[in-house]
Amino acid sequence: MVGMGIYFLRKSKTSEQFMVAGRGIPAWAAGIAVMSAYTSSISYIAVPGKAFDSNWHPLIFALTTLPVAWFVTKYVIPHYRKKKIISVYNYLEERIGAWARIYASFSFVLFMVGRTAVILYLSSLLLTSFIDMDIRTLILIIGVVTIVYTLMGGMEAVIWTDVMQSVIMIGGLLFSAYLLTKHVFSEPDFLIQKAFDTNKFSLGDSSFSLSSRTIWVMIIYGVSENIRNLIADQNYTQKYSSTATEKDAKKSV
């Protein structure tokens, strides 16, 4: 990862090259990078654990991505490309004022600090199961390496390391599924029937209760959160803004 940061260091000569990779990223790579912004150790550890403990209620969040992505490709991306936006927060300042940029930037940083802390902790917790190292040391190493290659290579390094890590994650997922199928789930028909009998494939409570996490609450949450992600979150907008054309940006989403 650090080597990739060093490789792209020589290219990061301008702010546009550093922030949006000179707008030369292929659509497929930007798309994988956008996907990687959604997936993390939370997706791989916490969400499956929650689904196993209860049901497929968290899947509703993923499904709400589809209508929001359609809206973004139809209306938001053309506008962003027309304005040649690099930072959505600078755009807020142009439209509303400096206070809006400061508030949005501060809120984003605060949110990412908390989210990154959880991601680093869960990743390190998993690694301690087969690496004999203190979890605090692992958190420090992962954090420092990530900061170094990001600062050195800019958005181009971030996107291509996202691609590499996504391939590793998907490969690990498929390999785990293979091992589970071969060595653990020797009777898949029985297990699937058992899952149906215990409502493991349920999407949750469909009542209109205001005191529990119903399907409707998750839909509202998913739509609002994905609007924030794909329209106002620099972690996403910066990646699809790194493509060469508007068409490529739409494909990446």
Secondary structure of 187-198 as H, E, C letters: CHHHHHHHHHHC
Torsion of Cα atoms, 70 then 71 then 73 then 79, to 10°: 180
Q: How far apart are CA 39 and CA 145, in angstroms?
A: 19
Is 128 part of any domain? no
- Residue 48: CA atoms inside 13 Å, Cβ hemisphere, count? 8
Highest mean pLDDT among 66-75, 194-203, 236-245: 66-75
Q: Binning pLDDT at 50, 70 and 90, where does residue 227 land?
A: very high
Helix (H, G, I), strand (E, B) or coil at 214: strand
Is 108 part of any domain? no
Contact 213, 57 (CB under 8 A): yes
Is 178 part of any domain? yes
Q: Binning pLDDT at 50, 70 and 90, where does residue 12 land?
A: low
Is 121 part of any domain? no
pLDDT tens per residue across span 127-156:
888 888 888 998 998 888 888 877 777 788
Give me the mean pLDDT over the 178-184 stretch. 77
Is 132 part of any domain? no
Helix axes 135-179, 2-9, angle to 10 degrees: 100
Is 122 part of any domain? no
Structural domain including 174 reads 2-86+154-252
Q: Binning pLDDT at 50, 70 and 90, where does residue 21 land?
A: confident
Contact 66, 51 (CB under 8 A): no
Is 123 part of any domain? no
Helix (H, G, I), strand (E, B) or coil at 228: helix
Q: How far apart are CA 91 and CA 189, in angstroms?
A: 54
Question: Given a cut of 80, is residue 91 above it in pLDDT?
Answer: yes
Put simply, whether the predicted model's pTM sits higher than 0.75 gets the answer yes
Is 124 part of any domain? no
Highest mean pLDDT among 34-48, 164-178, 186-200: 164-178
Checking phi first, is residue 233 left (phi over 0); if not, alpha (psi -120 to 50) or beta?
beta
The tally of domains found in the chain comes to: 1
DSSP secondary structure string for all residues of 152-166: HHHHHHHHHHHHHHH
